[in-house]
Amino acid sequence: RLWSDYLSVCLHPKSLYVIRQYMHDGDCGCLEAFGQGESLLQDPGCLEELEDRLHFYAEECDYLQGFQVLCDLHNGFSGVGAKVTELLYDEYSGKGILTWGLTPVMSNMGILMVAFFSPQDAQKNLYRLMNTALGIVRLSSHSSLFCPLSLSGSLGIK
């Protein structure tokens, strides 16, 4: 049912942090707004757990040179990624942070074509546009290099 069902690599238990309320069968549904993702890491328990996992791996490094962050831009995970890169920037100043902003290919979607969609599609398009814009601005401000990555030439925005 999930991408992890097809993962053939065994991952260390501290390498994944599952956000329970936003799982496929979670309480809150989907993480669709930048602010929702950002507010997740304002919870002291969540932030402390993330910092513990980060420090666990950083202490294992002989010579830590930097970080690579892969983050969805089109949904609420852009807010999570923005807070994570901000944390990395503050905790490990002087270390490189290479951030990849990922967007899916959206067929027949575009913010200029809102008039042809239902109100729900128009709202999803608006969320997608705002999440992408906020994600690009916030991720690039705390990264050494920010690279948007998509199979669509327009980052899913027409």
Give me the residue spans of the domains in the chain: 32-150
133 vs 137: CA distance, rounded Å: 6
pLDDT at 112: 46
CATH of 32-150, one of 3.40.50.300, 3.55.10.10, 3.40.50.1440, 3.30.450.40: 3.40.50.1440
pLDDT per residue, tens digit, the chain (158 aa), is 777 778 888 888 888 887 777 665 555 567 888 998 898 888 888 889 999 999 999 999 999 999 999 999 988 999 999 999 999 999 998 999 999 999 887 655 444 444 555 777 778 888 888 999 999 999 999 999 999 988 877 665 55
Cβ within 8 Å of residue 34, ≥6 positions away: 76, 78, 79, 82, 130, 131, 134, 135
